[in-house]
Structure 1
Amino acid sequence: MILTLLFISACFLAYSNGANDNFKGVATLFGSGTTNFKKAINWATVTTLSGSVAAIFLANELVKNFSGKGLVPDDLITVPIFAISIAFGAALTVFIATKIGMPISTTHSLVGALFGAGVVAVGSQFNFDKLLDKFLVPLIVSPLMAAVVSLIAYLIFRFLRKQFGVTKSTTLNIHEEQSLSVASLQMDNAASLKSSTTIKATIENEIETYEGQILGLNSQKVLDTLHYISAGIVSFARGLNDTPKIVGLLVIINAIDIKISMIIIAIVIALGGLVNAKKVGITMSKKITPMNSGQGFTANLITGLLVTTASFHGMPVSTTHVSVGSIFGIGTATKKANYKMISKILLSWLLTLPMAAIVSGLLYKLLETLT
């Protein structure tokens, strides 16, 4: 029964993770008008799943980190109710955020849940120094680093674009609207209707494209290709970075083989993204800053490089924090950042850790009492 509950909790966390995180890698593809939502989420699913599978061979260090090893005494790590509390506390936090469209960090939620269940279980024996050094510092530094690096990268790319003679142009997405108006009213209450067609082109529907050539190739086609690749890199990196964190909760009690665990979690993450990603996707794509394909490419490139580098070094950075930081860096450079939305996102980040800690701590106490 306990092992079944652990498996369900881990799958709940994987589903919530996919729903909140999967679209983040392709948010700039959709936000810049490079592609539509359906194509973007399909590309995210394929590349995230690839990263999850690659994690079997490349990310064993993260599995160790998120088992709680070094934060709490070794004998607590193998207690199933400890892992259940962590998984459920983090999962519920991420799921609620997904429902209200807030892009929060599964990594951050896991850290909060580790803290909550760990402190309730062992009190002062909890390793606060390692929590700060191994987990909190990378989570705090990564979005700031991403914002600064993406801002600098954008300025460099803009300079190079001008050197190549590539110019920007604005295309309005024109659409038709049908309207009906009452032309006359007869004695028998029958109304004759007149149909008219209105052509509309609004600022919200404008799409910036690039004109010119780079090394003899159409600049916009080159950019769109690179943008798709960069979005794939981000999604791949997310699968590589996040899957081991969830698997770490299953393998600590040797209930399931690590490779089988990776495959199951990878599939559930993909499912969560396909079913429940739209609200967070809209926030990431449309509400932080307007962007064109070049700006989106820059944000994705920086996010992918930072998250992939962190994965290989066993650093549990948040793809969410890095991605939002990169997009915000672009918005700062273009002076179009939505500071009100950024403030809401930052508030949700501040609430993530305490909420996950409270839920996991209370659940651990409840399960300890019942067992």
Structure 2
Amino acid sequence: MLILLFIAACFLAYSNGANDNFKGVATLFGSGTTNYKSAITWATVTTLMGSLAAIFLAGVLVKNFSGKGLVPDSLLTGPEFAISVALGAALAVLIATKIGMPISTTHGLVGALFGSGVVALGSSFNFAKLGSTFLVPLLVSPLIAAVLSLLLYFVFNRLRSRLGFTKETCVCVGKEYVPVSALAANGSMLQTIAVLQPTSLKIGKQQHCQQVYQGHFLGIGMQRVLDSAHFLSAGVVSFARGLNDTPKIAGLLLVAQALKLEWGIGAIAVAIALGGLLNARKVALTMSKKITRMNHGQGFTANLITGLLVTTASIHGMPVSTTHVSVGSIFGIGTVTGRANYRVVSNILLSWLLTLPVAAVCAGITYWLINLI
């Protein structure tokens, strides 16, 4: 049973990495600051650092997500409860990942704790602690993130104007090579050649336009300063995600005494990194391209708010969702620029509503089957 618990926890960690790892760097890719490969590499490195830092900074979250207070300690001494929680949450997150929906692993864990606990205890389950410790932070955090990102963008935009930094859009002017296929006498294609066209001015679609910032700050080009700050803020978000999510999963191993805290967090950290590297692309496209279009400054603002909120919540033991906070921040930017895709956001909100009941059902059935056997 302990081996099964370890496998279930690593499966949950892998699913978490696949759905969550790219969220910290979504604005880097979405704003065109870097490509997908560089973004996911940066996310993996900084998330791993946050996961390892959780050994020293996130003891409260380990305790909360072990199930203490929600169910009696007698239920936590065996691995059956922890296995059902891990598998229930993992299945819900994996389903969402396959369809490209950025849901909350935190939300999945809460649903799984609820499902397993209710099947095991019925009305004796601690519903009051579930609401105060888990649900309230999950509901409030995306609203706070959206409002703060909206306000901070106004402040940054006004500050940029006063300092004389301007935004400019590049337009391509020059000669263009157009591919032309050369045909043989019988009509078959022999080769493709490029023909040089006269000098022209070409304006593409709006989504292909790239805004750059002009001016200098302390002798350094403003665009370079902003891109560096953007990378740093994305690293902060990914670090905060590793710091916040890793102990939630490691807590399942700790209570059943399957592994020591340090070894448990190390194993979970590796599984999270693998999940992000191998299976994050669908959620990456949703977060980066479909919620809203953004430029470098807007992406930096969204990441800054997300990093500050998630890091603060982690240190204080509040189980907020990096997904909820990140989506809220990006949506806040989209709202103020008028570019938010409300249909995509509506689908994301629906997936959030379904996460808890799906995870609860999966975990409840798993717990029932384990005890039946």
Smaller-chain TM-score range? Answer: over 0.9
Mapped to 2, the partners of 1:241 and 1:190 lie a distance apart of 60
**Aligned residue in 2 for 1:260:** 263
Judge which range, 173-182 or 55-64, deviates more: 173-182
RMSD: 1.9
| Paired residues for 1:108-147 under 5 Å | 108-147=107-146
Mapped to 2, the partners of 1:178 and 1:362 lie a distance apart of 60
Preserved contact between residue 27 and residue 284 of structure 1 (Cα < 8 Å):
yes
**Aligned residue in 1 for 2:65:** 66
2:312 pairs, out of 302, 309, 313, with 309
Q: Find the residue that maps to 2:210 and give its secondary structure.
A: strand
Q: TM-score, normalised by structure 1?
A: 0.95
**Aligned residue in 2 for 1:334:** 337
**Aligned residue in 2 for 1:151:** 150
Q: Find the residue that maps to 2:164 and give its secondary structure.
A: coil
The verdict on how the C-alpha distance between 1:233 and 1:98 changes in structure 2, with shifts beyond 3 A counting, is same
**Aligned residue in 2 for 1:52:** 51
Residue 195 of structure 1: how far off its partner (Å): 3.8
The verdict on how the C-alpha distance between 1:101 and 1:191 changes in structure 2, with shifts beyond 3 A counting, is closer
Q: Find the residue that maps to 1:209 and give its secondary structure.
A: strand
Mapped to 1, the partners of 2:71 and 2:195 lie a distance apart of 68
Mapped to 2, the partners of 1:329 and 1:210 lie a distance apart of 22
Residue 191 of structure 1: how far off its partner (Å): 5.8
Percent of counterpart pairs with the same letter? 65
Preserved contact between residue 181 and residue 189 of structure 2 (Cα < 8 Å):
no
Give CA deviations for 1:204-237 in whole Å, capped at 9, x if unaligned. Answer: 3222111112344311111111101100000000
Q: Find the residue that maps to 1:321 and give its secondary structure.
A: helix
**Aligned residue in 2 for 1:171:** 170
Preserved contact between residue 207 and residue 292 of structure 1 (Cα < 8 Å):
yes
**Aligned residue in 1 for 2:16:** 17
**Aligned residue in 2 for 1:251:** 254
**Aligned residue in 1 for 2:74:** 75
Mapped to 2, the partners of 1:349 and 1:296 lie a distance apart of 23
Q: Does 1:269 align with 2:272?
A: yes
Mapped to 1, the partners of 2:345 and 2:195 lie a distance apart of 39
Mapped to 1, the partners of 2:322 and 2:189 lie a distance apart of 58
**Aligned residue in 2 for 1:205:** 208
**Aligned residue in 1 for 2:36:** 37
Mapped to 2, the partners of 1:279 and 1:198 lie a distance apart of 38
Q: Find the residue that maps to 1:256 and give its secondary structure.
A: coil
Size of the alignment, in residue pairs?
Answer: 367
Q: Find the residue that maps to 1:169 and give its secondary structure.
A: strand
Q: Find the residue that maps to 1:210 and give its secondary structure.
A: strand
Q: Does 1:346 align with 2:349?
A: yes
Q: TM-score, normalised by structure 2?
A: 0.94
Preserved contact between residue 73 and residue 125 of structure 1 (Cα < 8 Å):
no
2:282 pairs, out of 279, 282, 298, with 279
Q: Find the residue that maps to 1:344 and give its secondary structure.
A: helix
Q: Find the residue that maps to 2:339 and give its secondary structure.
A: coil
The verdict on how the C-alpha distance between 1:172 and 1:4 changes in structure 2, with shifts beyond 3 A counting, is farther
The verdict on how the C-alpha distance between 1:121 and 1:332 changes in structure 2, with shifts beyond 3 A counting, is same
Mapped to 2, the partners of 1:11 and 1:137 lie a distance apart of 28
What stretches of structure 2 of length at least 5 have no aligned partner? none
Judge which range, 327-336 or 74-83, deviates more: 74-83
Residue 79 of structure 1: how far off its partner (Å): 2.1
**Aligned residue in 1 for 2:300:** 297
**Aligned residue in 2 for 1:98:** 97
The verdict on how the C-alpha distance between 1:368 and 1:158 changes in structure 2, with shifts beyond 3 A counting, is same
Preserved contact between residue 15 and residue 272 of structure 1 (Cα < 8 Å):
yes
